[in-house]
Amino acid sequence: MTEAKKVLRRKTLAKWLKESILRLGPTFIKIGQQFSTRVDILAQEYVDQLSELQDQVPPFPSKTAVSIIEEELGGPVNDIFDRFDFEPIAAASLGQVHRARLKNEEVVIKVQRPGLKDLFDIDLKNLRVIAEYLQKIDPKSDGAKRDWVAIYDECANVLYQEIDYTQEATNAELFASNFKDMDYVKVPSIYWKYTTPQVLTMEYVPGIKINRIKALDQLGVDRKKLGRYAVESYLEQILSHGFFHADPHPGNIAVDDVNGGRLIFYDFGMMGSISPNIREGLLEAFYGVYEKDPDRVLQSMVQMGVLVPTGDLTAVRRTAHFEERLAAQRKEKEELAAAEAVVGFKQPLSKEEKIAKKKQRLAAIGEDLLSIAADQPFRFPATFTFVVRAFSVLDGIGKGLDPRFDITEIAKPYALELLRFREAGVEDFKKRWERQNQAFYNLFRQADRVEKLAQVIQRLEQGDLKLRVRALESERSFLRVAAMQKTIGSAVAAGSLVNLATILYFNSVRMPAVATYMFTAFFSIQVLFGLLKVKKLDQQERLITGTA
């Protein structure tokens, strides 16, 4: 299998995938649009084919589009517009776009595909069944879980809003208002007189798709700067306004040469909104990372609903403090090296002792991570689905613009600017107030704390409160013993059943013998799975303890 044959095979499979997605319809086209930006995940042949889903979806007949416009606007298109181009300039998953002239102004008219709501009803009904199934089988612990039905409801709500073009027009104007002071973002103006739930008329703003690298180079814009603008614009949407574009694939973001390269946003049907408590939690998380305060980060995660406060957070807290401890160890090591250089001081620990201490620290971290994985104290609000998706797409776009693109490095200065703004305002005042009045605060808090401690002791004595002490090594041992017991039980059952089946078969009792053999196969598979589970647990134990 030569490389040329592999490339040809990938091209064939990619074309089949694109055509299959087109046959499945709008819901699946949107999934394909998301993956069309992941140049770091998919081979280039798949990216090339899936990119056609962004604005090269087959259009529907122009006669149908004209009849929808005339019915919605209440008159012939030639009477409403000075010029109307019957050939569409673009077709997307939910509609297609025609150019026109209106009172000496160039406009575009977005027309919705016919029968879209009925198609959504069918697709989303099937997807809800999948969401309900995932909700049942998803492991739950301490109340933490991924709420698949809530994620489905959020997605369905956004998709149904997307087929109401009056809502899209409202979203576009709000988005434009949020970016009115930023000259690197352009949003087309809306013509409300010619806008209805199925027809949207807006300003014609041409541009080059943000993933057309050669065309962008010919335009002479700075691709690295464009990647930074894209990330900063999303941080502004999410952290400052709590209202963001939830479908940022390259078909919806273009670039022109105004102001050295300006981002043009299209298609405001899919928009996400973040509640004030989540937005404030995100800022608190940024602030906690900046201040190297793991407890503050954990508190912000609880505030956002990402971390379950009722769970056992000991392992999470210890892991969060790990980087802080590691930095302290590095500082200690540097100071010791400096002392050695000055006075010739020798390290008291041998090489073997150092290795043993390092293994001990890694084992402690491994235990904490295993405990976190077992308890699953994390959950994510449905809104985060769109936030993660948006930044995933942006990451793909950025890597296409600049191979050295790093979304975290671009986000860091913006986040620090927000944090400095907070420090200069109420947050800084609050810090100074707390420092100056800490003694006064503690004077009145101590009595309250003593009283609460007395209440806790009383509840322990009465049996209303139980103290839970975790021994992670014992938990892992019990888990392995339980897996071994189950495996041995399945092996005994399989052995007994195979004997019974053989006796029945030789006594010509064929049907019960076949049924018993099937049960034997089932228990044999359980034995295999049990052995694999025990092997996995042993590997985890070796990884945690650092043994070979």
pLDDT at 527 over 70: yes
Q: Considering the domain boundaries, does residue 497 fall inside one?
A: yes
Give pLDDT tens digits for 191-219.
Answer: 999 999 999 999 999 999 998 899 999 98
Give pLDDT tens digits for 101-128.
Answer: 998 899 999 999 888 888 888 888 888 8
Helix (H) or strand (E) holding 272: strand 271-273
pLDDT at 443 over 50: no
Tell me the torsion sign for CA atoms 55, 57, 62, 67: negative
Mean pLDDT confidence for 417-424: 60
Mean pLDDT confidence for 271-280: 80
Given pLDDT bands bounded at 50, 70 and 90, which one contains residue 545? low
- Structurally, the chain folds into a number of domains equal to 1
Contact 73, 194 (CB under 8 A): yes
CA atoms within 13 A on the CB side of 307: 21
Given pLDDT bands bounded at 50, 70 and 90, which one contains residue 65? very high
Given pLDDT bands bounded at 50, 70 and 90, which one contains residue 288? confident
pLDDT at 231 over 50: yes
Per-residue confidence (pLDDT) for residue 387, from 0 to 100: 78
Specify burial of residue 472 (Cβ count, 10 A radius: 0-12, 13-18, 19+).
middle
Per-residue confidence (pLDDT) for residue 142, from 0 to 100: 42
Per-residue confidence (pLDDT) for residue 98, from 0 to 100: 94
The answer to which of 87-91, 308-312, 520-524 has the lowest mean pLDDT is 308-312
Residue 266: DSSP 8-state: -
Cα–Cα distance for residue pair 234/368, rounded to 1 Å: 34
Query: Between 324 and 477, whose confidence is greater?
Result: 477
3-state secondary structure of 102: strand
Q: Considering the domain boundaries, does residue 403 fall inside one?
A: no
Q: Considering the domain boundaries, does residue 442 fall inside one?
A: no
pLDDT at 309 over 60: yes
Per-residue confidence (pLDDT) for residue 392, from 0 to 100: 77
| Amino acid letter, 71 | E
Given pLDDT bands bounded at 50, 70 and 90, which one contains residue 484? confident
Percent of the chain with pLDDT over 70: 68
One DSSP character per residue, 410-478 reads HHHHHHHHHHHHHHHTHHHHHHHHHHHTHHHHHHHHHHHHHHHHHHHHHHHHHTSS------HHHHHHH
> In the beta sheet, which residues pair with residue 332?
none
Give pLDDT tens digits for 128-182.
Answer: 898 888 788 765 544 445 567 877 787 777 778 888 899 999 999 999 999 998 8
| Amino acid letter, 391 | F
Average pLDDT of every residue of the chain: 76
Q: Considering the domain boundaries, does residue 515 fall inside one?
A: yes
Q: Which residue of the set 79, 138, 217, 247 is catalytic?
A: 247
Mean pLDDT confidence for 241-270: 87
Query: Between 330 and 141, whose confidence is greater?
Result: 330
Residues ≥6 apart with Cβ < 8 Å to 149: 128, 131, 132, 135
pLDDT at 240 over 90: no
The answer to which of 207-211, 226-230, 381-385, 491-495 has the lowest mean pLDDT is 381-385
Mean pLDDT confidence for 221-244: 87
Per-residue confidence (pLDDT) for residue 269, from 0 to 100: 84
Q: Considering the domain boundaries, does residue 471 fall inside one?
A: yes
> What's this model's pTM, rounded to 2 decimal places?
0.60
Highest mean pLDDT among 37-41, 159-163, 280-284, 329-333: 159-163
Residues of the domain holding 533? 466-545
pLDDT at 390 over 60: yes
Highest mean pLDDT among 210-219, 367-376, 383-392, 505-514: 210-219
CA atoms within 13 A on the CB side of 235: 20
Q: Considering the domain boundaries, does residue 120 fall inside one?
A: no
pLDDT at 444 over 50: no
Residue 510 vs residues 322, 498, 524: alpha-carbon distances, Å: 64, 14, 21
Per-residue confidence (pLDDT) for residue 73, from 0 to 100: 93
Q: Considering the domain boundaries, does residue 535 fall inside one?
A: yes
The answer to which of 50-54, 137-141, 483-487 has the lowest mean pLDDT is 137-141
Q: Considering the domain boundaries, does residue 400 fall inside one?
A: no
Percent of the chain with pLDDT over 90: 17
- Catalytic residue list contains 247: yes
